[in-house]
Chain A
């Protein structure tokens, strides 16, 4: 979808190109542009795998290791989701990315009145460890890492994952989970928050601290510029806000006395790929460099592994359109190309039918095939950072870098990301831009093929994923079964222990692990936290 403004003259010649980040693209770039912007090949373009990593975090890029593919998957019951996981793996997918339904994301059990109509709808329902056991049954967890798209209750889900892996005989230091676990971005966009900012950030600190000691292959936090961009911000802000969110989590762990090099390797990023191709590629290159500088200069990281920006670059949801949905297959291919040219470690794509429905198997497989074609047919594995040295790309990378630094400074001046979210500054900025963007689309200043240009009138029919009411019944039955079969006295005691611990500064993960193993439900554990911490109140932004 077009996100750059094109100003043309009467002869249809392009006079001006203005990227979403506000950068004007010139019709021609040459050596002089690099000189003017202060490009220094020594400092800016060290070889891949060397500081500042503009060209990539591995010396050989995709030659040494192809990207991990991780389509966002989950619906209905854990059993249905398990079947879809296995389907995707059998077709060559190399990682998982679990979608949870909204009640689970909000810490409600499937039989909660507030969960009505939502159980298993946009992801799989999880009430207790039993559900995780079903969802991951038969999955080689020592080979296949699992992204868990969960935030407010990520601490609970990470202990569920550990308990499940151990139950199936995998050692906890051999399995790799990536819970999303980024609550500040939920408060800016996406909205699946429960607890107030400070306790919510404390829980993230607990997961990072715990993973550092107990789950060394786990990435306890995946900081998401992705959703903030989906909510309306520019690519520059996407990176600036993501980094400042990451800094807030870093400071939470530093405050507990851990040296930066002991934990920051577990940080990963989730970044978006829709929009102008060049702007995205330059964004990823600039981001890698700035993350390394941020770690080295702001936090004094010494271990070179601490400096690496690793991430899932993918999705592209907001670029996809409901009109002429098959166009999204083509868009997805270009978005995945942007991710590959940007050096993504992991990727995923929104499927072409996602503006309508949970992806059908055919749609999900098309996304997977897109990645496979890029890596195995088109040549994206051939050489690392293929666009390096281009007058245009290097100039744009520098420009993006400078703008990201400026945006980060604004947040610093406000006292950091926690303050910027509590006061609603970021939310307001994002909502304002979303409105401007939409006006641009409706006026035809921003082109969306099939939406405001080359339209075809009649809407296309898309095969819809069916929401099965029976899944809800099955899910609630299993929950009741679990509650009947477990040792309820033990569960009550463990929940009490959790509550007492939550009132102190103790790390809560061991308590959660005990609760999970005793089949306490997500709703029960969340209720304990709600009682101790209360709930987040959105700042008014209108």
Chain B
């Protein structure tokens, strides 16, 4: 049997708007993935620790505050330090189009701005993930 993809849905930083994160978590679960939801106000360290402990294949960040660039930069840097930079990172939320190339540069592979159909993100993750 194919291994189920394990994905961490994380809310980094101070923003508490979690409608999107909770909706996507339910959709990913219905899409056949094992979903771990961190809850709110997570530091980058907390997210990385949970990702390691839970041995996930994908880290999915939900960011609505506009701080996606500094948060993703910090995450990428810390992942490298902890040697888990082979883990896939995807981001959803309020992401202006002009920031997408910058996010890709940082190493964020999948970017799903608000309103992306569930199916599109689920299929994208399934296609690109390397299960660990």
Q: Report A's interface with B, CB cutoff 8 A.
A: 102-103, 105-106, 108, 114-118, 121-122, 186, 189-193, 230-232, 321-323, 355-358, 431-432, 434-435, 438-439, 442, 451, 459, 464, 467, 538, 540-542
Contact B67 A356 (CB under 8 A): no
Whether A435 touches B26, Cβ cut-off 8 Å, given contacts A118-B13, A118-B65, is: yes
Q: Tell me if B101 is interfacial: C-beta within 8 Å of chain A.
A: no
Residues in B neighbouring A108, C-beta threshold 8 A: 14
Q: In the complex, A224→B37 CA distance in Å? A: 26
Contact A542 B37 (CB under 8 A): yes
Q: In the complex, A172→B37 CA distance in Å? A: 46
Q: In the complex, A102→B23 CA distance in Å? A: 23
Residues in B neighbouring A106, C-beta threshold 8 A: 14, 41
What are 9 pairs between A and B in contact, CB < 8 Å? A189-B18, A230-B19, A232-B19, A232-B23, A357-B96, A431-B23, A435-B27, A438-B27, A542-B26
Residues in A neighbouring B87, C-beta threshold 8 A: none
| 7 residue pairs, one from A and one from B, having the closest CB atoms | A191-B16, A117-B70, A102-B14, A117-B67, A431-B22, A435-B26, A538-B39
Contact B14 A118 (CB under 8 A): yes
- Tally of chain B residues near chain A (CB < 8 A): 36
B16, B114, B118, B119: the one contacting A190 at CB < 8 Å is B16
In the complex, what residue of chain B is closest to A542 when comparing beta carbons?
B37
What string of 1s and 0s marks CB contacts (under 8 Å) between B106-117 and chain A?
A: 000000011101
Contact B114 A102 (CB under 8 A): no
A317 shortest CB reach to chain B, Å: 10
Contact A116 B70 (CB under 8 A): yes
Q: Tell me if B32 is interfacial: C-beta within 8 Å of chain A.
A: no
In the complex, what residue of chain B is closest to A231 when comparing beta carbons?
B19
A221 shortest CB reach to chain B, Å: 19
Q: In the complex, A103→B65 CA distance in Å? A: 12
Contact B14 A464 (CB under 8 A): no
Central interface residue in A108, A117, A542, by most chain B CB within 10 Å: A117
Contact B65 A121 (CB under 8 A): yes
> How many Cβ-Cβ contacts under 8 Å join chain A to chain B?
94
Q: In the complex, A114→B14 CA distance in Å? A: 8
Residues in B neighbouring A122, C-beta threshold 8 A: 15, 65-66
Q: Tell me if B25 is interfacial: C-beta within 8 Å of chain A.
A: yes
Contact A438 B94 (CB under 8 A): no
In the complex, what residue of chain B is closest to A115 when comparing beta carbons?
B14
Contact B41 A191 (CB under 8 A): yes
Contact B115 A322 (CB under 8 A): yes
In the complex, what residue of chain B is closest to A121 when comparing beta carbons?
B66
What string of 1s and 0s marks CB contacts (under 8 Å) between B10-36 and chain A?
A: 010111111100110111010000010
Contact B25 A191 (CB under 8 A): no
Contact B96 A438 (CB under 8 A): no
Contact A355 B16 (CB under 8 A): no
Central interface residue in B13, B16, B119, by most chain A CB within 10 Å: B16
Residues in B neighbouring A117, C-beta threshold 8 A: 13, 67, 69-71
Q: Tell me if B128 is interfacial: C-beta within 8 Å of chain A.
A: no
Contact B66 A442 (CB under 8 A): no
Q: Tell me if B50 is interfacial: C-beta within 8 Å of chain A.
A: no
Contact B118 A442 (CB under 8 A): yes
In the complex, what residue of chain B is closest to A230 when comparing beta carbons?
B19
Central interface residue in B25, B40, B43, by most chain A CB within 10 Å: B40
B112 shortest CB reach to chain A, Å: 13
Contact A538 B26 (CB under 8 A): no
Q: Tell me if B97 is interfacial: C-beta within 8 Å of chain A.
A: yes
Contact A191 B17 (CB under 8 A): yes
Residues in B neighbouring A432, C-beta threshold 8 A: 26
Q: In the complex, A102→B67 CA distance in Å? A: 11
Contact A102 B22 (CB under 8 A): no
Contact B19 A459 (CB under 8 A): no
Q: In the complex, A321→B113 CA distance in Å? A: 12
Residues in B neighbouring A186, C-beta threshold 8 A: 16
Q: In the complex, A192→B119 CA distance in Å? A: 31
B35, B70, B71: the one contacting A542 at CB < 8 Å is B35
Whether A102 touches B65, Cβ cut-off 8 Å, given contacts A189-B19, A191-B18, A442-B117, is: yes
